[in-house]
Amino acid sequence: MNIREATLDDMIPMQNCNLHNLPENYQMKYYFYHSLTWPQLSYVAEDEKGRIIGYVLAKLEEDPAAEPHGHITSLSVMRTYRRLGVAEKLMTQSQNAMRDVFNCKFVSLHVRKSNRAALQLYRDTLKFTVQDIEKKYYADGTGYLELWELECVQDVKNKEDEMQ
Amino acid sequence: MASNPDLEKKLRPIYDAMEVGNYKEGVQLCNKALKRQPDLHIVKALKALAFERSGKMNEALALCEEIQWAKPTDEATLRTLSMVLRSAGKYEPMIKLYENASKVNPKNENLANQWFMSLARTLDFKGQQQVALQLHKNFKRDNYMFWAIMSITLQGQNVPAGQPNVFYSLAERMMAKQNTEGKVQTIEELQLYLIILLGQKDRHADALALLEGEIGIKTKATENVELRHLRIELLIKTGRWKDARDATALILKENSDDWRTILQYLETIFLPIQDADLKDSENLKEARAFTAEQVKNETKNPKRGPFLAQIELEHRVQEKIGDNKTSVLELLVSYFGKFGSKTCCFEDLSSYISKLDKEDAKEFCKRLRETYGEKSDTVKEISMQINLARFERFIGNFSHLNSTETNALVNRFWKLYEEALPVGKDLEETERQYGDDYVIMAAHLLIDLHKDTKSYFPLLNATFMLEHALSASKHNYQMKLVLIRVYELLGAYNCAIGIYNTMAIKNVQHDTMSHFITDRATTFGLFNEALTLLYGAHDIYHSNEAETPEMILQAYKYSTFSKMQEFIEFQSRLENSLQKMIADREMIRLEFLKEDSVSRAITWLQELEIGNLKYDDQFSKSRIDNRDTSVMLNWNPKSSSSVELLTRAAPQPDRVWMTLFTVIPRILKHMAHLTPVNVEYEELLSTLSTLATSAPSSPENSPAVNELTAEEIRLAKILVPVTKAFQTLYTAIVAQNSNSPAKEEPTKTAAAVKDFLTSAATLLKREGAIKSTGVIPWQTFHSLTTTVETVAYLNVTNQCLLNLIATKANKKATFKGVNAVIQDFMAQCRHALQAVQTDITALRNVVKPDRIKSGLLYEICDGSAFDFVRSPNHQKLIEDKTLKIGASWMNSLVNLQQEAIARVI
């Protein structure tokens, strides 16, 4: 498996990686925006044949009032490649860049309360803590889905911790 | 917003109205303001914007043109104008306007910036270069110099490889100067420098020096994953084997899973020595020791990397010097022992298994079967058993089975699927059941059986199983893809659409995935449904046109030089997409067919824009195929076709297909205008003739030898003589009118036209009525629809021939004979449609719900060999789905019959 920086060309297989239904429906320009503004923060994982098996899309949170921190916009691993630590590696890579390039102190993400699998990954495996809970609405074509969403945060490890 | 407070007061209400989307009021307010001050450009521009936003593009563009003439120079007007023109895809006018404005206000940095950006939108690299240099001269910012260098580099990329590249040399000189002055500071600027160096031949050492030098250190280049990778690549290319090996080993000790670094490590082992010296070399010893050490370090939760590295190493040794088969086989078997329960195990090993001898491959599966038996109680065991089944399928254990063997295997897989269900009872709705792939494999076996026996019953049974399994795994898109294909083979388009719509295909997937549902969508006779899908998918190309250029501008703003090429390439991939053109031609077919009266069809053709209707070699070759055909699961042996190929109802449309459906509307359009026969017409005719003489593919050929079906070739064959008839008649009329000595006897003209039309009529007659076996497959619809489509074209060509005599001949009576010939042919066309109607009426009787129940459904269930079908629990589903398929057939038939009736003239 490889972890490498995401390129625009990856967008096509990245989308196919996402073929399963998700209420989020990111526009193309949203991917573009990430790739352009923070090219160092978004990564893809490839299998041995060079096919995309997962990706993390991340950005810098531009809130001048808060401490510099990163935000995970989207994390996805193809079903066939689950339980191999792919998500963890993608996150680590992105977080290292958040720390080294942008001096981030922590990283946040949103996860739906009903998404138990994701919650388990973030909370138990990646050690995120739940900071906040709020109601969000997603357009799903027929109307609005009402979902509870959790905001999770985690401190970005500094280099010394990582060595240990 | 304008800075003048008076003006601002005037504009405020307009902006307010626009902001809340009240464009009608916006237009009214603009009109009011313009009454007092007719030349206020900004108000005109806002009015244009209001028009554009409310969908009145023509009005908007007319206003824009008015404003352009006045050459406005204020930023607000230009910005507003630019928004309107951009949404119309018109980029050129803004270049001139910003150039002018910038020259009038040379001190205005923003205007000059906009001038640069307007050039960047059209990818005018040379113009960009000049403006960037001017910006640098006037405003002295370093980033403008990098814009200029980037613009020069982009020009360099268009120089064909192998030719001297002055652009790169110039860019390099400018970059070197920036570097000496200490102005290359960021990682993106370093990236630009590297692009320039590596774009030239044999500059690996220089690029490496840069990376390892002062800027490399300053920008922490080697902490960047990509640049670190690049450095090792360059170390290998420059033969610094030891440095490269040390660097890769260091990375692998930290992350043993990093496959591309494993490959680089192996390069440092194999590249420096000849194959002959490999066997006893230090390098090989070192590599074996290193990989063994890496493997040893994996204890708890082992990573796959080191084990795959060992396999790759020994596999390469086998490829290079042989005599290593046993070690490879042993490693493969032991890898399965470690990772056999991971779903990716098949993907990991399949490429190695495919290179084994047949006996070794059998041995591999035999040993696994002996070791792991049939035990499948836990998630891990189920997953391992599925992997084993995949490998057994892959090495050909399930190939060439007869019906009885297939049925038994399908029953076995269904049983395994059902036994796995309780294990997954707590899975979330978004997850898949653990045994889903058993159902997919059963479907693959049934597809094989359909191919072998030509019976459609295996496909019907496959749809029932897949539909049933889908209700327990709502989001399993792999099942959905197989279902879509099988429904299409079964001619049940409504069912295929129903499944496709649950896949939530979005964004760029419209380019890569929509072919599953839009290829030859006309076939099913459901023109409106097909058009809805095609237009829905086409939106992606509009958003690419509108959005991607803006992103390229952003890349300049952020100085993200490393992404610039990526954006330009991405834009081009979508802009020149083959799928885009294939879908476009399908839409033209459908739009034409929606005009069911001849006169409306002719008007439609006259209004058809041919700007995009290209088919020349250069155009065809520069199409880019983004269609994803690898996404469908496939465990078929290498020696047989993939599931994706086997489930195609017809050969995949490509450039030849695109050419046929470009040439047809163009010929018809030519006739519709009664344009004199010219070189262009001759070219169209010659292209059509070539297509008409190509050999058809039979469904057995795979891959297909011709991407056109027999019906499509027949369509071309029919249109060739008709195209010639128009040509002959036109020439004869011109000669008669001018009383030229070359003029023919009218009877001779009539005889020539008759010959042409008779040969078309002969081809039009289909042999025998269509027989229904209870199922109305794709092929039947294709045959019926193509006949209706052909007559729809012939109705137009006949009318054009009549119009030719009526409007172009001075003495119409001279061509009475030709007229009679055309009338005769029109009668033949009517007959062809009547035959279609008779067929459809017969088919409609068979697919009535009560007939489906007593006929098809009975046949499916009576004495079925499938446990699934026999189970009382599934009777309701089987009945529902069979009726749904029947309803879809009925829907297609009813529509098609209406289309046929409408064309009887």
Cα separation, B394 vs B352, whole angstroms: 12
Asked if B551 and A117 come within 8 Å (Cβ–Cβ), the reply is no
Asked if A5 and B225 come within 8 Å (Cβ–Cβ), the reply is yes
The pLDDT score that the predictor gives to residue B485 is 98
| Interface with chain A: mutation pick from B353, B387, B507, highest number of A CBs within 10 Å | B507
Give the closest residue to B720 by CA, choosing from B746, B755, B748: B755
Give pLDDT tens digits for B660-681: 999 999 999 999 999 999 999 9
Asked if A47 and B344 come within 8 Å (Cβ–Cβ), the reply is yes
Cα separation, A76 vs B466, whole angstroms: 26
Count of pairs with CB atoms under 8 A, one residue in A, one in B:
140
Q: How many CB atoms lie within 10 A of CB B566?
A: 23
Does the domain formed by B206-551 have CATH 1.25.40?
yes
Write phi, then psi, for B809 (nearest 5 degrees).
Answer: -80, 130
Chain A residues lying within 8 Å of B561, measured CB to CB? none
Give pLDDT tens digits for B395-423: 999 999 999 999 999 999 999 999 999 99
Out of A2, A12, A40, name the one closest to residue B259 (CB): A2
Asked if B547 and A28 come within 8 Å (Cβ–Cβ), the reply is yes
| Interface with chain A: mutation pick from B307, B351, B428, B506, highest number of A CBs within 10 Å | B506
Does the domain formed by B5-192 have CATH 1.25.40.1040?
yes
Element (H, E) at B566: helix B561-575
Cβ–Cβ < 8 Å for B268, B241: yes
Chain A residues lying within 8 Å of B428, measured CB to CB? 114-117
| Interface with chain A: mutation pick from B298, B436, B501, B508, highest number of A CBs within 10 Å | B508
Cα separation, B413 vs B338, whole angstroms: 25
Give pLDDT tens digits for B721-734: 999 999 999 999 99
Tokens for A114?
């009903």
Write phi, then psi, for B616 (nearest 5 degrees).
Answer: -65, 165
Out of B348, B503, B550, name the one closest to residue A19 (CB): B503
Tokens for B892?
């297609």
User: Residue A15: closest CA among chain B residues belongs to which residue?
Assistant: B509
Name the DSSP class of B653: P
Enter the pTM of the model: 0.90
Out of B223, B432, B507, name the one closest to residue A28 (CB): B507
Asked if B631 and A116 come within 8 Å (Cβ–Cβ), the reply is no
- DSSP SS3 for B268: helix
Tell me the residue type at B92.
E
Q: How far is B223 from chain A (nearest CA, A)?
A: 9
Out of A2, A48, A80, name the one closest to residue B343 (CB): A80
Chain B residues lying within 8 Å of A4, measured CB to CB? 225-226, 229, 260
The pLDDT score that the predictor gives to residue B697 is 65
Chain B residues lying within 8 Å of A81, measured CB to CB? 343-344
Asked if A1 and B258 come within 8 Å (Cβ–Cβ), the reply is yes
CATH 1.25.40.1040 residue ranges in chain B? 5-192
Element (H, E) at B324: none
Cα separation, B543 vs B711, whole angstroms: 36
User: Residue B301: closest CA among chain A residues belongs to which residue?
Assistant: A84
Asked if B508 and A11 come within 8 Å (Cβ–Cβ), the reply is yes
CA distances from B385 to A55, B341, B445 (A): 29, 8, 17
Cα separation, B761 vs B713, whole angstroms: 15
Asked if A36 and B628 come within 8 Å (Cβ–Cβ), the reply is no
Chain A residues lying within 8 Å of B635, measured CB to CB? none
User: What are the pLDDT tens digits along chain A (164 aa)?
Assistant: 888 988 877 876 766 666 653 434 556 667 778 888 888 899 999 988 888 888 898 998 877 777 888 999 888 888 888 888 898 899 988 988 888 888 888 888 888 777 777 788 888 888 888 888 877 665 554 445 555 667 777 787 766 555 44
Name the DSSP class of B524: G
Asked if A93 and B431 come within 8 Å (Cβ–Cβ), the reply is no
Chain B residues lying within 8 Å of A48, measured CB to CB? 259, 308, 347-348, 351
Tokens for B270?
């194999």
Q: How many CB atoms lie within 10 A of CB B668?
A: 24
| Interface with chain B: mutation pick from A9, A11, A19, A84, highest number of B CBs within 10 Å | A19
Name the DSSP class of B222: G
Tell me the residue type at B242.
K
Chain B residues lying within 8 Å of A1, measured CB to CB? 257-259, 304-305
Contacts of A120 (CB under 8 A, 6+ apart): none
The pLDDT score that the predictor gives to residue A21 is 39
Q: How far is A48 from chain B (nearest CA, A)?
A: 6
The pLDDT score that the predictor gives to residue B519 is 97
Q: How far is A34 from chain B (nearest CA, A)?
A: 11
Cα separation, B410 vs B389, whole angstroms: 12
- DSSP SS3 for B650: coil
What stretches in chain B show pLDDT beneath 70? Answer: 1-3, 697-705
Sheet of strand A52-61, all strands in order from the earlier edge strand to the far edge? A2-5, A43-46, A52-61, A69-77, A106-112, A144-155, A129-139
Cα separation, B788 vs B244, whole angstroms: 67
State the greatest distance between any 2 C-alpha atoms of chain B, in Å, as a whole number.
Answer: 98
- Give, to the nearest 10 degrees, the angle between helix B259-270 and helix B305-321: 30
Cα separation, B885 vs B888, whole angstroms: 5
Q: How far is B529 from chain A (nearest CA, A)?
A: 18
Q: What is the mean pLDDT of chain B?
A: 93
The pLDDT score that the predictor gives to residue A22 is 44
Out of A16, A36, A93, name the one closest to residue B631 (CB): A16
